[in-house]
Amino acid sequence: MPPHLVAAASPSTGKRLAVVGSGISGLSCAWLLSQSHHVTLFEADDRLGGHSHTVDAPTPAGPIAVDTGFIVYNEANYPNLTALFEHLDVPTKPAMMSFAVSIDDGAFEYCSQGIGALFAQKRNYASPRFWRMIGDLLRFQKQAPRDLAALERSGETLDAYLGRGGYGALFREAHLLPQAAAIWSCTMGQMANYPAASFVRFYMNHNLLKVDLRPTWRTVDGGSRSYVGRLAAAFKGRVVTNAGITGVLRGLDGAALRFDDGRLERFDAVVLATHSDQALALLDAPSAEDRRLLGAVEYRPNKVILHRDTSLMPKRRKAWAAWTHLGYSDRAGEGGVTYWMNELQSLPGPPLFVSLNPAKTPDPGLVIGEWDYEHPVFDAAAVAAQSELWSLQGRRNVWFAGAWFGSGFHEDGLQAGLAVAEQLGGVRRPWSVADESGRIHLRTPLSAPDRLTEAA
């Protein structure tokens, strides 16, 4: 398909810049840079937004906008995203958050939404294993913050920490690991290998270890495409979709993009706002440092299915939750997660679900659509590399941005995109928030001569 171009008025002076990728990192970076520079935003797909992907689900009352990627945020932990939404007058509304687990098609299940839901399966009242799980949860909430300093020094994995702490199998396989896997869109096994210190710090920062201080979550009214559209409208540069970029050539006086038709287009600088593995694949003659740092983050492919099949929810209606982990005991609890979109996004009409890597396939007659995403996996190697990633910025006029600079969430991607724009373009975001780049490992940019040298 030929590239699609949309032109807008650009500043009369400034650098000629390219941003590759239109997820939250690329779109925010391009928007901020375009206030003072000539910016072209390139996207491989036929739409902007990346994981901000809203689709229309048919209902008897007409189509309803449903998100299949980015869904929720909270004001405490997403300060820049909150400020961006306020700046663009993006309408938002409260999101109802709850978590449920259903193992072996309802043989064991519970929901976090109150005592009645916790004991939706009546025999849990008399189950010593269930009461031990609750006890382990309360102990973990109290003990984990106390152990954080030691975990920072030891570098042990979450699995090793839970084992050393004597936490029971039910707590591990039917609560903590399923919940974390749902948050990070990965497997329970991958979460088990997550650095324990990073995990505990994230849970502490999000008040997930305090039952009475859980954050209030929100969602974009009309779906995330509402903010994507407003941000794209505020962008003052040129947009190219179906871009077909095959490589990035770096030089002393600029950088160039190579396209699938063989042509080259030169810029003063290029920002690669893609996944880190995609950025590495695009670089012409990557250095050993490029390969070591950009290659440290692995990605998990995730199948997302929008459907109406209630069999991918808990067997007991009382145990239904906004997020449900459906697992199987013969797989040590591994399974998939189903999001109840009516609950999460206050959607009217018949039930709508988004299932991520479901352990069983929804009824094809109830499926509305399927999509493939990839999410970063933060093991010890990835977390260790993050402290050095910013050292790659600007070398031979190529910069990088993405949620992989942080914990993989929307705020992380936004912080990276804005920080790159500010350091590259000498521009400033139109708001101030506390600890504005606190979720990424930001460094002072190299001087211009140093940026012209290749990392060793």
Q: What is the dihedral of CA 391, 397, 401, 406, to 10 degrees?
A: 0
More confident residue, 334 or 284: 284
User: Which contacts (CB < 8 Å, 24+ apart) does range 279-286 have?
Assistant: 279/400, 279/402, 282/20, 282/245, 282/246, 282/247, 282/248, 283/247, 283/248, 283/250, 283/398, 284/247, 284/248, 284/249, 284/250, 284/258
CA 348 from centre of chain: 26
Task: Write down the pLDDT at residue 7.
Answer: 41
Tell me how far apart the alpha carbons of residues 353 and 369 are, in angstroms, rounded to a whole number: 11
Task: Write down the pLDDT at residue 454.
Answer: 40
pLDDT tens figures, 163-209: 999 999 999 999 999 999 999 999 999 999 999 999 999 898 888 87
Domain assignments of the chain as residue spans, ordered by start: 4-51+224-296+381-451, 98-213+299-377
Tell me how far apart the alpha carbons of residues 70 and 174 are, in angstroms, rounded to a whole number: 25
pLDDT tens figures, 62-89: 999 999 999 999 999 999 999 999 999 9
The answer as to CATH 3.90.660 being correct for domain 98-213+299-377 is: yes
Q: Would you give the DSSP letter of residue 405?
A: G
Tell me how far apart the alpha carbons of residues 415 and 430 are, in angstroms, rounded to a whole number: 13
Task: Write down the pLDDT at residue 452.
Answer: 40
pLDDT tens figures, 88-122: 999 999 999 999 999 999 999 999 888 999 999 99
pLDDT more than 90, % of the chain? 86
pTM of the model: 0.91
Tell me how far apart the alpha carbons of residues 217 and 94 are, in angstroms, rounded to a whole number: 6
* 4-8, 149-153, 377-381: segment of lowest average pLDDT: 4-8
Task: Write down the pLDDT at residue 8.
Answer: 46
Q: Contact 193/383 with Cβ under 8 angstroms?
A: no
Lookup: tokens for 69: 């990627």
CA angle 113–115–121, rounded 5-degree value: 90
CATH class for domain 4-51+224-296+381-451?
Answer: alpha beta
Q: Quick check: 10 pLDDT over 70?
A: no
